[in-house]
Structure 1
Amino acid sequence: MKDKVNSILKDIESATAKTQDELESYRIKFISKKSVVGELFNELKNIPNDQKRAFGQEINKVKQAAQDKFQELIESLETQSSSGSSNHIDLTLPPTGEAGSIHPLNIVKGNIIEIFERLGFNVSDGPEIEDDWHNFTALNFPENHPAREMQDTFFIERNPDMLLRTHTSNVQVRLMNNNKPPFRSIMPGRVFRNEAISARAHCVFHQIEGLYVDENVSFADLKQTLYHFAKELFGPETQIRFRPSYFPFTEPSAEIDISCQICHGDGCQLCKYSGWVEIAGSGMVDPNVLENCGIDSEKYTGFAFGMGVERITQLKYRVNDLRLYTENDIRFLKQFKTAN
């Protein structure tokens, strides 16, 4: 047995490892549970009791020698790597391969935020998991409104209702609850609706809503703000129109259309040969919403608007299928390396 211990010690002392594979082979042979050192510990039970202590001490010396050698081999490999071996990576060299790019949705979202910031709007944020009051009730949604049903909304809990927000209007409610007018803010963020995924719809998408509340805010302020926005984002030749519409939280309400960016008003498949494409909804904040949030509707008025970032991006870059935004296809994403 003494000869076996000495033989293992010699093997440990002479061991070398010039690669990671050789280092791993050493670890398996001398360090692992099924190593030759482990076999020595298994043989300890066959040693007479009066010799076990001395033999155990010898095995521990072998174990310590194996571990010390293993650490020495690790340090030796690291030294070789840092001194310029073939495996060394020079972090000062310029990168190779595909350069990264900003996602088109982030490009457009950044452009929109920048335009409204120049108009004095700040950026507000809020939770994506919301209660019924902030998402529906405070915004003047009646109890039987279709948006409350399971086919439109992802409910997490019932009684009390907790859900994935269906719009970033919940941030408007929180802003009005926690602040005193005047305030101007936009609310970018993800929203969730129970919709079948297709070229024109997705269950997760991005919105940017806006809110301006102050004394004497009028529909003329809303129109001029959105006129400026459309021309800044899509170009000075862009035309804009307002169509009467209905939303529970605004009165009066209007859909916002811009002249088609492909046919420039002549008519094509994108605009369904009308020359116009819808980009957003808007309106004057309903007095009930102001009162729900503790704001005196006799003193203050306000306007609100909301748009889908995917929709704006489709129009700006002529993307015909919004599923491309989430497929991580390099052929699609690399087109936006120099987009602005």
Structure 2
Amino acid sequence: MTLRRLVGLFAFTALLLSSQLAFAGEGEFDRDGSYKTTNFRTTAPNREMAEKFGDMAEHFRREKAREWLGEEMPNWGQRCPLKVEIRMKDTGGATTFTFGSNGNGRPAVLSQQMHIFGEQKQLLESVLPHEVTHTVLAYYFGQAVPRWADEGGSVLSENENECFTHDIRCRELLNSGRGIRLRMLLGMMTYPKDMIVVYAQGYSICDYLINQHGGRAKFLKFVRAGMNSKNWEAAVHDSYGFESVDDLEEKWIESLRTPPQRVAKAKTNTPTGGTTALASRSSSSEVRMSGLSAVPKLEAPAVVRGVAPDRDERPRQLEAKPANRNNDQPPPIALLLPPEHTPRR
């Protein structure tokens, strides 16, 4: 064989190997069939699926960290177990964290594990990036995050249909009197009984602050300031310049008076396809339980957990009846948005 042919053979072999490596997974399989990457140990119904989800988990980990933090996170000290379960009827997930302190005495995530279930396409497009976003926020804060910010921020990672659905649902929930006053919601560390409100209203507020008032880095500093000081009035003023939490609430609601752009263009008020997330979470875990993504048939309004609505300082849009003195619980928030701007089912 001539030298020229030998060099050509080596070049072809190198090209072939590089192409194979480019399409190869990031990790390797263990004896138990799990797929190990740098930060995840993934189990799934088959090896092909385990490799796909494991590699995508690493991809979303890098992508969401860059979106939220401006840089990638350091590798975790131990792999996060990721269990993938394929179902056709329901879609959701759970990520459980153990919080503690690192070697420097700072709050930190000590361990975490993730379980996602549902239809494969929906898992890859919405559920997995949602759950991975929880890990990014947990890394940044090192402790449990207020529910509205944790879930609302994670919904931002879901696909367009899911985000649109949460936008529509937020308007429906507010108009049905199921919204939670921001003075109560901002510091809420446990889920209310009406759990969908945390997802829909949390998403809407996160979207408003991030996309209209300065981006993710500013948002994270705001949430940290509120968490550390427990003074959300000061955090709102210092971070965004709003006069008060009520002022933020009023301006956020005012922004919702304009119908979603997608509704105006399509001349339709109901999204189709996909799933929608609900949540149930203790201080160390979060659970997403899903139903149909179309706007639901709402139940009777739940009692609002918030400040007494009979005080004069409430936002002008919130016209509520006097509190029921028999049970000391404030009634639901009344109609917030113009009827002509309310999506129809």
TM superposition score normalised by structure 1: 0.28
Q: Highest Rg: 1 or 2?
A: 1
Which structure is higher in strand share? 1
